[in-house]
Amino acid sequence: MDAKKILIIEDEKQIARFVELELQHEGYNVKIEYDGFCGLNSVGSYNPDLILLDIMLPSIDGMEVCRRIREFSAVPVIMLTARDETIDKVAGLDIGANDYITKPFKMDELLARIRAALRIIEPKDKMSQVLMTNDLVMDISRHTVKRENSNIVLTRREFDLLEYFLKNKGLVLSREQILGSVWGIDYEGDTNIVDVYIKYLRSKIDEQFENKLVHTVRGFGYVLEDRKTDA
């Protein structure tokens, strides 16, 4: 069985490193990000089984990171904070966090909460693998895509590309990011292949619909979001 992947989004490097070592000792695969923006980007590229998310973060705070994650993913999120205030706990749970633990915490307690969160989410993942935005719905397990209830037939590569966009909804993705995640890090071809497949994908999911989903961000890459005009 593959090791469960845990993403730690924590700006206190000493705490992050301590937790990383303990989790690795327990057999988990661990990745650390030190600010909210990088952490949010890693959710799509790393595809973690669980996230440990600090509230007080540079660039984007943990509450906003959690809110954005919930727009495209049901991955379990355990909030970490130094503030033991009921209002913070309620706010975190209301925006989609699965659990909440206050610093300083005992590692045994954190490990128990991680195990509990992973046990709860596993059956849900097996039953439903649906991603959506606006009127577009992708069912990963059935390998189907619909928009306005019309079936859209995609090739395997187009399907993988759309899945990657949906898992990173609202994030600007560079050609290099897309290439590494969809084609794989060993792909040695030109990044222009990304533009070619974006064109294929748009012709199927965007051309005949008023609201366009895949947009060009000139000088940066592409983003999937629901708006009527291209960037």
In this structure, what token pair is assigned to residue 90?
């309620």
| Mean pLDDT across 73-97 | 75
Among the candidates 109, 127, 145, a domain finishes at 127
- Per-residue pLDDT reduced to its tens digit, 6-44: 999 999 999 999 999 999 999 999 999 999 999 998 998
User: In terms of domains, do 47 and 95 share one?
Assistant: yes
- Per-residue pLDDT reduced to its tens digit, 60-70: 999 999 988 88
3-state helix, strand, coil in the chain (%, to 5): 40, 25, 35
Higher-confidence residue: 87 or 17?
A: 17
Among the candidates 127, 159, 189, a domain finishes at 127
Using the predicted structure, report yes or no on whether residue 205 has a pLDDT greater than 60.
yes
Using the predicted structure, report yes or no on whether residue 2 has a pLDDT greater than 90.
no
Which pLDDT belongs to residue 50?
95
Number of separate domains in the chain: 2
Using the predicted structure, report yes or no on whether residue 49 has a pLDDT greater than 80.
yes
Using the predicted structure, report yes or no on whether residue 229 has a pLDDT greater than 60.
no
Higher-confidence residue: 7 or 192?
A: 7
Record the pTM. 0.54
Distance of CA 49 to the CA centre of its chain: 10
Cα 24 to Cα 106: distance, rounded to the nearest angstrom: 16
What CATH number does the domain containing 219 carry? 1.10.10.10
- Per-residue pLDDT reduced to its tens digit, 122-163: 544 444 578 888 889 998 877 889 998 789 999 888 999 999
* Residue corresponding to tokens 């633990």: 101
User: In terms of domains, do 87 and 198 share one?
Assistant: no
Q: Residue 16: CA atoms inside 13 Å, Cβ hemisphere, count?
A: 20
Among the candidates 127, 159, 193, a domain finishes at 127
User: In terms of domains, do 104 and 150 share one?
Assistant: no
Q: Residue 113: CA atoms inside 13 Å, Cβ hemisphere, count?
A: 21
Q: Residue 156: CA atoms inside 13 Å, Cβ hemisphere, count?
A: 1
| Mean pLDDT across 181-185 | 81
User: Which residues, including other chains, have CB under 8 Å from residue 139's CB and lie 6 or more apart?
Assistant: 129, 130, 145
Greatest alpha-carbon span in the chain? 55
Question: How confident is residue 102, by pLDDT bands cut at 50, 70 and 90?
Answer: confident
User: Which residues, including other chains, have CB under 8 Å from residue 208's CB and lie 6 or more apart?
Assistant: none
Report percent pLDDT > 90 for the chain: 47
User: In terms of domains, do 202 and 97 share one?
Assistant: no
Which pLDDT belongs to residue 122?
52
User: In terms of domains, do 13 and 122 share one?
Assistant: yes
| Mean pLDDT across 179-183 | 86
User: In terms of domains, do 25 and 122 share one?
Assistant: yes
| Mean pLDDT across 174-187 | 83
User: In terms of domains, do 10 and 123 share one?
Assistant: yes
What CATH number does the domain containing 51 carry? 3.40.50.2300
User: In terms of domains, do 168 and 68 share one?
Assistant: no
User: In terms of domains, do 33 and 141 share one?
Assistant: no
Please name the helix (run of DSSP H) or strand (run of DSSP E) that holds residue 71, with its range, or none: none
Using the predicted structure, report yes or no on whether residue 121 has a pLDDT greater than 60.
no
| Mean pLDDT across 109-123 | 79
User: In terms of domains, do 27 and 111 share one?
Assistant: yes
User: In terms of domains, do 11 and 111 share one?
Assistant: yes
**Averaged pLDDT score across all residues of the chain:** 86
Residue 67 burial class via C-beta count within 10 angstroms: exposed 0-12, middle 13-18, buried 19 and up:
middle
Owning domain of residue 178 = 130-227
Cα 217 to Cα 55: distance, rounded to the nearest angstrom: 29
Using the predicted structure, report yes or no on whether residue 51 has a pLDDT greater than 50.
yes
User: In terms of domains, do 45 and 28 share one?
Assistant: yes
CA-nearest of 190, 136, 126 to 165 is 136
Which pLDDT belongs to residue 120?
61
